[in-house]
Amino acid sequence: MTLKDRCRVIQFADFGDERGKLVVIEGNQAIPFKIKRVFYIYDSDSTVVRGQHANKESEFVLINVAGQSKVRITDGKEEFIVELNKPMMGVYIPKMIWKDMYDFSSDSVLLVLASTHYDGKEYIRNYDDYLKIMGEIHD
């Protein structure tokens, strides 16, 4: 399976009517895990790069509920970039995938749904360490 197939872009159902729009995301339905944690990132801008880590245990879905940002996704071999610019789209990021979030618009609110409670110990924050681990996994 290619990296793009694994980290798929998900289009959420949009219950729009004349009163406005409503997007629903239910764990284990629209996204492939039970949601244990929600956080959001705002007040970032086009000069910063966030993320820069891979997670041993956590799966994520990233959604720009306002504004836009980009996510660079890699497994150390393949790489692709997703532009998050609609509240009804998200990108699913499985375990052990490296991600960088950048190019935030000033109105960007990046919502993140996670499959785990926070545990700083499951983060790999050094790219060389990540490549080493992935090399061992790939080989």
Give the residue numbers annotated as catalytic, written as ranges.
53
Rule CB under 6 A: say whether 50 interacts with ligand TYD: yes
Q: Which of residues 96-135 bind ligand TYD (CB under 6 A)?
A: 118
Rule CB under 6 A: say whether 70 interacts with ligand TYD: no
Rule CB under 6 A: say whether 39 interacts with ligand TYD: yes
Rule CB under 6 A: say whether 64 interacts with ligand TYD: no
The Cα–Cα gap between 38 and 119 comes to 14
Give burial (CB, 10 Å; 0-12/13-18/19+) of 68: middle
Q: How far is the CB of 39 from ligand TYD (least distance, A)?
A: 5
Helix (H), strand (E) at residue 128: helix 127-138
